Amino acid sequence: MKHKRELEQKIIEQIKGVYDPEIPVNIYELGMIYEIKINDDMNVHILMTLTSPNCPVADSLPLEVKEKVKEVESINDAEVEITFDPPWSQDMMSEEARLELGFL
């Protein structure tokens, strides 16, 4: 179990390197990552959203997340699922993201 928590932290660090091109904050701090699951085969399932359904990077952003996660040592594969339930809102942003964007 400890190993999976450590892996999840490494995955989060990788995801923090992915940015929404319209907002200068990483997608993790924006609250766009809803769930990270690691199964026993070291395959990762990421449930994430986009800032809007017609986001200009709707095709490339999930692919970028998948590639970043697959770079983590010990991870076999990654799958990224997009959902709009619940829809993303500014309330999902971390305090750090709100501060960065001047919302605090």
Q: What is the pLDDT along the chain (104 residues), one digit of tens a residue?
A: 678 899 999 999 999 999 988 888 999 999 999 999 999 999 999 999 998 888 888 889 999 999 999 999 999 999 999 999 999 999 999 999 999 899 87
99 within domain boundaries: no
Structural domain that includes position 76: 2-87
Number of domains within the chain? 1
65-67-69-74 Cα dihedral, nearest 10 degrees: 170
Could you give the CA distance from residue 62 to residue 70 in angstroms, rounded to a whole number? 12
Distances in Å between the Cα of 78 and the Cα atoms of 17, 41, 51, 69, 73 are: 16, 11, 21, 7, 12
101 within domain boundaries: no
Residue 97 DSSP class: H
95 within domain boundaries: no
Q: The whole model's pTM is what?
A: 0.92
CATH number, position 77: 3.30.300.130
39 within domain boundaries: yes
* 72 CB neighbour count, 10 Å cutoff: 20
